[in-house]
Amino acid sequence: MRICRWIIVACILNGILVTSAQDWTTWLYHPDDGLLLHLDNEGTILDTRTIPADDGYNRPHVIVFSHDQLLMATVAKSDNSFRQRLTLYTVADETVILVYDLPDDVSLNADDQLILSENAFSTDDQRLTFVTVLGGVGWSIHIVDTSSGDITHTLEHDHPQVTLQPYLSAGDIPQIVTVQDEMVSFYVENRIGNPAPQGHSYAWFLITDLVSETIAFPNANHDVLQTGEAVYPLPNKQFPSKNETIPISRLQHNVVYVYQTGEQVRYPSISRPELDLLHAWFIQGGERILVEAYEDEIRTRWLVYDRSGTEVRNLPKAGYDVTATVDGFLYLTELDEKVVLVHVNSRTFETAGDTIWVDEGNWQIVGVSIDVNDTLLPFAQIDEEETPPPFSSDMSPTPFPTPLPLVYIGREMQVQVFEDGYINLRDDPSTDGAVQALLENGIYVDILDGPVEGGAYIWWKVSLSGREGWLVEEVDGTQILIPRRDVEDGDVGSDDE
């Protein structure tokens, strides 16, 4: 793989590869000296500025731009203590909107963090979300109004809704995935950077101040569009796994999943039994995805797919810091102790990539101007492969037993909700019962009691993640509680009672 990468980069530097590209701009940052460069798609420097170091602090080690690139947030560490500072300001004139320091009324240590994720800005850029982690105290998620700089919402680790979640504890570290339509989505890592048990992510609903477990973001290897659509690889035993070079200590990630935030549904879109799928990114304004895949001990691939699930290009992995543009993607690589910024036009693939800019130092891609196509086609959905049951012609027929009802006590069921909605988990079998949580499509529940008639609905008492409550069986003729499915098949419905 290394030889292939050098061939590609060498061809780029020698000017062999030339192609046209749509207009876009990118920001590069050098944390050692605080230098921030704004480049166009031809590598022309449009703006150069130095991010100053506040008194008592180093230069920022994290920089995140808003989607419209009008705002910028930074995090810097103290040069002589464990203090950390977040600053939010405008890009045009560097007007400071917010300065937030880790509180000095507690004894800070090396475990304390102020976390700003790459998706810290809401999809409409009106909110900024950041996380504070204080050793021995716990974590907090903060929501900032980007126009005023006011902190409008805070979720603490000891919030009553958080304490109901068995896999969400004060020792975890929340990682923000997306902030969209009054909902914050996050997953958790432990303090040494490892994800918590796979499959556990959460939604915090700002209006109702409810927290609910979701199926949205089970690991860190995802990418999220501004629309809320997400892609990520997962292992799935319903699909074949044939790569024998993968260590037996880990599961082969053989399927790429798509998650639709609006419909609250997840489904498999791409299956590769011979590869271990490591990461997925949206590219080309969301029209295609790039999947990083482990083939064997010396080969890692970059695979490009369109939304129909068709592989359109298979490339050797050539770099890091993959970032989407409107016509393809950018990445960084190193050659002769220099950092090379490369652009791949995935619309045409006339070349393997074009050199945009070359310089020495520890550079990072921190922002790209990109408009998401608002007429994107849905991703293809694939079905799990099932092994047919054995057949013997001398088997005598077995009479059918009396069928059990669809829902009964002791059965595990799956929640099916309507388009862009949730189902209310209530403390009593009535629409007057207090809402304990909002459950999305695909959540599994165990039936504890019922049925109970309440108003116009049939109710069942259920349990999930250590919590109990009442759910309606159906709404307007559509079944809410359905038999569990191993692979989400995308059946959805609407908001409940």
The CATH number of whichever domain residue 451 belongs to comes to 2.30.30.40
Question: Do residues 440 and 357 share a domain?
Answer: no
Q: Name residue 113's amino acid.
A: Q
- Residue 396 lies inside a defined structural domain of this protein: no
Q: Which of 108, 72, 63, 68 is nearest to 90 (CA)?
A: 72
β-strand pairing of 127-134 with 223-224: unpaired
Are 128 and 270 part of one and the same domain?
A: yes
**What six digits make up the tokens of 273?**
């039994």
Instruction: Give the lowest-confidence range in 63-67, 113-117, 291-295, 446-450.
Output: 446-450
Asked whether residue 385 is domain-assigned, the answer is no
Q: Examine the domain organization and report whether 285 and 353 are in the same domain.
A: yes
Distances (CA, A) of 396 to 391, 392, 393, 399, 400: 11, 9, 8, 10, 13
Query: Are 424 and 356 in a shared domain?
Result: no
3 pLDDT band, cuts 50/70/90, is: very low
Q: How confident is the model at residue 167 (pLDDT cuts 50, 70, 90)?
A: confident
Over the stretch 14-61, which tens digit does the pLDDT of each residue have? 433 333 446 899 999 999 999 999 999 999 999 999 998 888 899 999
Out of 337, 368, 399, pick the residue that ends a domain. Answer: 368
The pair of structure tokens assigned to 317 is 């992995």
Highest mean pLDDT among 69-83, 138-152, 220-234 belongs to 138-152
Q: Is residue 227 a part of any domain in this protein?
A: yes
Q: Domain containing 130 — which CATH number?
A: 2.130.10.10
For residue 437, the enclosing domain spans 412-483
DSSP 448: E
Q: Is the domain of 197 the same as that of 73?
A: yes
Looking at the fold, whether 343 and 464 belong to one and the same domain comes out as no
Q: Is the dihedral of CA 79, 85, 90, 95 positive or negative?
A: negative
- Asked if the model's pLDDT at residue 416 lies above 90, the reply is no
Q: Please report, for residues 27, 122, 182, the alpha-carbon distance to residue 65 in angstroms, rounded to integers and kept in the order given.
A: 9, 11, 20
Dump pLDDT digits (tens) for 334-362.
988 899 999 999 998 877 789 999 999 89
In a domain, 401, yes or no: no
In this model, does residue 112 exceed pLDDT 70?
Answer: yes
pLDDT of residue 405: 63
Residue that the structure tokens 């950092």 belong to: 339
CA 414 – CA 61 distance, rounded (Å) = 43
Q: Give residues with Cβ within 8 angstroms of 174, minimum separation 6.
A: 115, 131, 139, 141, 186, 187, 188, 202
Residue 74 shares a structural domain with residue 198: yes
- Domain end position, chosen among 336, 368, 400: 368
Residue 30 has what pLDDT? Answer: 94
Residue 359 and residue 434 in one domain = no
Beta bridge partners of 328: 325, 345
Considering only residues 444 and 320, tell me which one the structure prediction assigns the higher pLDDT. Answer: 320
* Residue 382 in domain: no
Confidence of residue 98 (pLDDT cuts 50, 70, 90): very high
> For residue 271, what are the β-bridge partners?
255
Same-domain status, 134 and 217: yes
Last residue of a domain, one of 368, 392, 426: 368
Residue 429 and residue 285 in one domain? no
Asked whether the predicted pLDDT for residue 493 surpasses 70, the reply is no
Number of structural domains (the chain) is: 2
Any domain includes 23:
yes
277 or 220, which is more confident: 277
CA distance 158 to 172: 12
Using CA atoms, how far apart are residues 26 and 273, in angstroms rounded to an integer? 36
The alpha carbon of residue 333 and the mean position of all alpha carbons in its chain are separated, in whole angstroms, by: 24
d(CA 434, CA 436): 6
| Closest C-alpha among 373, 378, 356 to residue 365 | 356
Contacts of 379 (CB under 8 A, 6+ apart): 231, 258, 269, 307, 309
Calculated CA dihedral for residues 237, 445, 155, 201, nearest 10 degrees:
10
What lies within 8 Å, CB to CB, of 374 at 6+ separation is none
Best CA proximity match to 231, nearest among 255, 199, 196, 263: 255
304: in domain: yes
Q: What integer best gives the mean pLDDT of the chain?
A: 82
Instruction: Tell me, yes or no, whether 492 lies in a domain.
Output: no
d(CA 347, CA 54): 43
pLDDT at 53: 87
pLDDT, average across residues 311-328: 92
